[in-house]
A and B are shown apart, each in its own frame.
Chain A
């Protein structure tokens, strides 16, 4: 360890006391408040320490691997700083979990309607930094649609803010968009401000299995429907596609849509129609969310044109078969988003498959991103970035984190060619 690192560690011990732990995985700081977070980063930065900011560490394997000298956990930063129910706006520290926030909001019949895996262990800062896709995207959008302000600690320990506390605001550059999905690079998200919405009176869900030959027609029907589902998902297995539509709102609005959707699926030869209501519907929704990282396998999130989903999937599966493994898929029909889960362990086979899928996706302007980096060959990049966006990202990073201390290597901005399988 360099002298600077040793001195930095000593200063951190002095500042943080028991909030600094030396673990098998290295130094872990858990600052007890926002001032301590900023001071921790100032000390670390002065010592030239590379930093990895995390919540409960659920999505640390998203993006490319990072080597850090200091892990900073936001898990002690759990306070609500401001909740104005009449304005439907809430500000909280980054370490609060989605579940805890929603428990608070529920007391005023409000909600942050983002449905991601493990809300009880997903912090708000992690939600912003990783920007996982929400199952209910069709009705309620993504994290960046709800984030209206944030404060960030820059790598050298200065607190800066973007956005504000009002639901409409175009003053200055939109830092909320920049930090959403920045995966711990650029700075540490310290506080977040979300607009929220009222809860709904009723919820219900309809799911139906559609035989292979009717699947394209059913896909088009749900993609261009006049109904207003908040969840519009599909699950693909060997011979059939199961469509699920979830509705929230007034009871009569939900009922009417269940009736109309039932007719649509019956006309398409849908089988095994199931209707679930209220709690059962919400539980079924939670089960639809793909796992964070593949159990004994992998998850790749693909984005294609909605109309191309089934043909893309067919290719994904036939390529996998040729390599000797299976792929199952969950998708968000109106968005062309597909989570492909493969049961292949061998890194080289995964890489060969991914290379083909990326080429196919790119033909339609789409892409394929690894969610969960474990088990992939080191050379494989989690992302596919085009040359100019990569250059812009590199310049942004050079501006906001000139010494490259925050989650270095996450996006592999250095090279153009290297890393693409």
Chain B
């Protein structure tokens, strides 16, 4: 289709100020936070309502045009890449907090609402939205739903799927469906649960009814300092095995500590090989004993120091440092890829050794900052993307790290999604029969494959021809 005609048609739906089509405007939409692959959409539309989204989708559906939903573009697996060009539907103008129901501890929000804004609106009332990805100052609830996003505190509170009651979804043919419920329980197949984490391949989420959780009355946040990565990872395994249930349990290695310290001057020990951030929360009664038990385990595993955040300000700085850690790594190299493997928690000590070994073998620096408590690794591979030879080493090392995770019974992604980045590894984790079931599920929602094509599922070789659009 001729671009001018497409632009004019879409402008008629969403208004002239809500269609981006000049090359310089589109440049910002050619990737998300996974920057190794890029693709420019034909056009970006910025609808303001569900009805506008539905009209745009219907328009694409009728013309066989691929379309891709996009939130804030903070995703780390290329989930909103316009791999086949087409129409990008950015939800960033649909930012309303439609309803804050304090009595029933839930909120109805538009997909483009920024994660942290919801918590900021709820916290004066003693509530918060629990999933807290590190990008929560920018990422949207709709994007969180697409990826089933996690965050440090999901160790105790659960990931996005545990906090979504229902979803308004524009299906790939433009019909508007409500999946799940407005109440706590739904009827029939859990279409809500299936859609959370479907990476935008089932339709475009336009609204979500989410749970709000009371803020814990008591919080203790500790920084434990270790001389070796091994001791720190042993401490994580020991805490889990002892049945301690922290709200968050995060690890940062030396490279991260130094980058963070250079940016924030928090007072991290730059000579330490690893630190753990351990947060305990809940009612005040019992919290002290839990803290004593935790400190004892950390010290028994060789922590040379366990520092308790003395007030809310210090705690805030500690979390700021943790959540900005990946950004701080920008000081160390021009480019980075954040990997996202998961392993059984008892395997932490051995997998970290393997990651260091893989980095050494490929001549790459790898920094680690991750959700240790649930075994969700984030090795950050540092490189320069202007050098194609380095890029190919980065990709190979990343794959080897994920293979190592699979070898110990793990997963290739804990919270970032498959996107385009890992689509080639799905057949390492799943059999052809497993993938066929997933393909049929996608086809139930998205039979023409126009909605976010090229993501999550590898194209079945036998089906390549039949899937080509006329």
A interface residues with partner B (beta carbon < 8 Å): 84-89, 109-110, 133, 141, 144-145, 154, 158-162, 164-178, 180-182, 197-199, 220, 223-224, 226-228, 249-250, 252-253, 255-257, 301, 303-307, 334-337, 364-367, 369, 383-386, 388-390, 392-393, 395-396, 398-400, 411
- Residues of chain A within 8 A (CB-CB) of B433 are 154, 158-160
Contacts A166-B375, A182-B189 known; 19 new A-B pairs at CB < 8 A: A160-B434, A160-B436, A161-B431, A166-B409, A167-B342, A168-B150, A168-B159, A168-B411, A169-B414, A170-B159, A170-B414, A171-B412, A174-B194, A224-B103, A253-B285, A255-B285, A257-B283, A307-B103, A388-B171
- Residues of chain A within 8 A (CB-CB) of B214 are 226
Docked-complex contact B194 and A388, CB < 8 angstroms? no
Contacting B282 at CB < 8 Å: which of A253, A307, A366, A400? Answer: A253
- Residues of chain A within 8 A (CB-CB) of B184 are 303, 306, 335-337
Given the interface pairs A389-B188, A393-B191, the reply to whether A178 lies near B183 with Cβ below 8 Å is: no
Docked-complex contact A392 and B191, CB < 8 angstroms? yes
Docked-complex contact A181 and B190, CB < 8 angstroms? yes
- Distance between A68 CB and nearest chain B CB, rounded to angstroms: 20
**CB-CB nearest in chain A for B430:** A172
Docked-complex contact A305 and B441, CB < 8 angstroms? no
Docked-complex contact B286 and A249, CB < 8 angstroms? yes
Contacting B411 at CB < 8 Å: which of A89, A166, A198, A255? Answer: A166
B interface residues with partner A (beta carbon < 8 Å): 102-105, 126, 147-148, 150, 154, 158-159, 161-162, 171, 175, 177-179, 181-194, 196-198, 214, 217, 237, 240-241, 243, 245, 282-286, 289-290, 342-346, 371, 374-376, 409-418, 422, 426, 429-431, 433-438, 440-445, 447, 456-457
- Distance between A263 CB and nearest chain B CB, rounded to angstroms: 14
Of A180, A388, A390, the most chain B CB neighbours within 10 A belong to: A388
| 24 contacts across the A-B interface (CB closer than 8 A) | A85-B241, A87-B240, A87-B344, A159-B433, A160-B434, A161-B434, A164-B342, A166-B342, A166-B375, A166-B414, A167-B345, A169-B414, A172-B435, A175-B438, A177-B196, A180-B190, A223-B104, A224-B102, A303-B183, A303-B185, A383-B188, A388-B171, A388-B178, A398-B444
A158 to B435: give the CA distance in the assembly, Å.
Answer: 12
A181 to B194: give the CA distance in the assembly, Å.
Answer: 12
- Residues of chain A within 8 A (CB-CB) of B154 are 168
Given the interface pairs A84-B344, A174-B197, A180-B190, the reply to whether A168 lies near B414 with Cβ below 8 Å is: yes
- Distance between A395 CB and nearest chain B CB, rounded to angstroms: 4
**CB-CB nearest in chain A for B103:** A307
A167 to B150: give the CA distance in the assembly, Å.
Answer: 12
A177 to B243: give the CA distance in the assembly, Å.
Answer: 26
- Residues of chain A within 8 A (CB-CB) of B198 are 173-174
**CB-CB nearest in chain A for B457:** A172
Docked-complex contact A168 and B430, CB < 8 angstroms? no
- Residues of chain A within 8 A (CB-CB) of B411 are 164, 166, 168-171
Docked-complex contact A307 and B104, CB < 8 angstroms? yes
Docked-complex contact A223 and B103, CB < 8 angstroms? yes
- Distance between B6 CB and nearest chain A CB, rounded to angstroms: 28
- Residues of chain A within 8 A (CB-CB) of B410 are 164-166
- Residues of chain B within 8 A (CB-CB) of A141 are 158, 162
Docked-complex contact B283 and A228, CB < 8 angstroms? yes
Of A84, A166, A256, A336, the most chain B CB neighbours within 10 A belong to: A166
Of B285, B410, B413, the most chain A CB neighbours within 10 A belong to: B285
**CB-CB nearest in chain A for B345:** A87
A409 to B198: give the CA distance in the assembly, Å.
Answer: 28
A159 to B192: give the CA distance in the assembly, Å.
Answer: 25
Given the interface pairs A145-B162, A364-B183, the reply to whether A385 lies near B188 with Cβ below 8 Å is: yes
- Residues of chain A within 8 A (CB-CB) of B192 are 177
Docked-complex contact A389 and B283, CB < 8 angstroms? no
Contacting A173 at CB < 8 Å: which of B243, B284, B409, B438? Answer: B438
- Distance between B135 CB and nearest chain A CB, rounded to angstroms: 15
Given the interface pairs A168-B150, A364-B183, the reply to whether A161 lies near B430 with Cβ below 8 Å is: yes
Docked-complex contact A84 and B104, CB < 8 angstroms? no
